[in-house]
Amino acid sequence: MRTYEQTHPWLSFRVDLRKLPPPVWLLLGRAAALSERLGNAPLTPSETERTDLLILAEAVLASAAMDGNTMKPRDVEEHLAGTLKLPAAQQYLQIEVDNLLKATRWTQDRIQAGDTQLTPWAIQMFNAQVLKSLPWDDQVHPGEWRLPGQVTAVQGAPAEDVPLLMERLCDWLNGPLFDPEPSEERIPMTLLQAALAHLYLIWINPFGEGNGRTARLLEHQLLLASGLPPRTALLPTIGLDRIRSTYGRLFGQCARTNDPLPFIGHWVRAFVDELELRWRQVEELQRQAAWAAHLDASFDPSTTRNAARQRQLLQDLVAARRPVAPTQIPRLSAALAELYAPLHPKTLQRDLEALTVKGFLTKTASGMQALVGAR
């Protein structure tokens, strides 16, 4: 009998999915549907680039934050733009984020090149990259299995069993349980695979440092390999950061009860919550695009002499999100004030009447209010 079988009996590489509660199966189906919808969202190239970059930055920051990094979203944006300047004593925070960015992109490049096989070597490379160039003590060796007697934040499996356990973990994750037929079960089973991979890597705790970041990169690889786009495959990390205190407690709770199902349930719920949030954001982008197209068609300068002025007037009333007294309307923006300053006051009245006739505005007791564009 190996030592870990006595000290860590929950490392069984078995899971009885028949005991997974029905609500979790429903969430898995919801996650699969939303993943496909989000991946195929009809965004413009610029919107796609901006959305993907924003999610990448949020996911990297979330993963770093769960391991103690205190950088803020604005810091990451400045870092990506090459303008961030931190004091010398805090530059390690920037290195942590940069390491995660590079490791995430390396994973995406590997999957895109067709290298989808999960191996202990790949997991070691994740760890080597997230710990690169950071000031660790002599016991921490990036990308190498933990040494006997080495103290870590989580009491992992005995160090002498780590190489065997990591081989078993990869064999299990590459096995038939997570490669189902029919194909419509592929995404739900991949989500279960990613959650269990994350949980087991933390339980084993194979490295001297960076196990959490490594586990999140591991789940990212598995989700990418199943065909999920990067913008979707990064969302579990952001979702887990939103339930950080619960997330941290689940590893010990599931070990004590020898039951991985609570972790799976919270992981899937966090993923679905994040998918729903991102889909609402996509819907808002689509609504804004439709609104802009409607404005272009309704205020064509070649057909309406006052089109540009009336369009600015409508946009500022939409942005106000409330009724505005006519006398206060020119103060809504500097652009509006500049447009109406040299004109007769009746010009504003005529423009308001024109927009009302077109169905864009309504008159209330408190003033003029936009009927469209702001929800």
Give the residue among 250, 229, 243 at the shortest CA–CA distance from 273: 243
Question: How many residues appear in the chain?
Answer: 375
Using the predicted structure, report yes or no on whether residue 262 has a pLDDT greater than 50. Answer: yes
- Interval 61-82 mean pLDDT: 86
Q: What is the pLDDT of residues 8-28, one digit of tens each?
A: 999 999 999 999 999 999 999
Beta carbons within 8 Å of 68's beta carbon, 6+ residues apart: none
pLDDT band at 293 (very low <50, low <70, confident <90, very high): confident
Q: Mean pLDDT highest for which of 80-94, 178-192, 326-340?
A: 326-340
Q: What is the pLDDT of residues 314-349, one digit of tens each?
A: 989 988 889 999 989 999 999 899 999 998 889 999
CA distances (Å), origin 312, targets 163, 272, 308, 325, 375: 65, 39, 6, 17, 18
pLDDT for res 373 = 56
Q: What is the pLDDT of residues 28-57, one digit of tens each?
A: 999 999 999 988 888 888 888 888 888 999
pLDDT for res 49 = 86
What's the mean per-residue pLDDT of the chain? 90
pLDDT band at 224 (very low <50, low <70, confident <90, very high): very high
Give all domains of the chain, ordered by start, each with its CATH number: 3-285 (1.10.3290.10), 303-370 (1.10.10)
Q: Phi first, then psi: what are they for 363, rounded to 5°? A: -95, 125
Dihedral (Cα; 124, 193, 6, 19), 10-degree rounding: 170
pLDDT for res 212 = 95
Using the predicted structure, report yes or no on whether residue 374 has a pLDDT greater than 60. Answer: no
Using the predicted structure, report yes or no on whether residue 81 has a pLDDT greater than 90. Answer: no
CA distances (Å), origin 122, targets 80, 119, 165: 26, 5, 15
Tokens of 216: 């999140």
- Interval 185-191 mean pLDDT: 92
The two most distant CA atoms of the chain are separated, in Å, by 93
Are 262 and 196 within 8 A, CB to CB?
A: no
Are 226 and 187 within 8 A, CB to CB?
A: yes
pLDDT for res 375 = 43
pLDDT band at 358 (very low <50, low <70, confident <90, very high): confident
HEC readout, 171-193: HHHCCHHHCCCCHHHHHHHHHHH
Q: What is the pLDDT of residues 126-168, one digit of tens each?
A: 999 999 999 887 888 999 999 888 777 678 999 999 999 999 9
pLDDT for res 142 = 94
Give the residue among 159, 160, 118, 126 at the shortest CA–CA distance from 143: 126
Tokens of 190: 């991949």
pLDDT for res 148 = 87
Q: What is the pLDDT of residues 241-255, one digit of tens each?
A: 999 999 999 999 999
pLDDT for res 182 = 67
pLDDT for res 150 = 77
pLDDT for res 179 = 83
Q: What's the DSSP call for residue 145?
A: B
pLDDT band at 194 (very low <50, low <70, confident <90, very high): very high
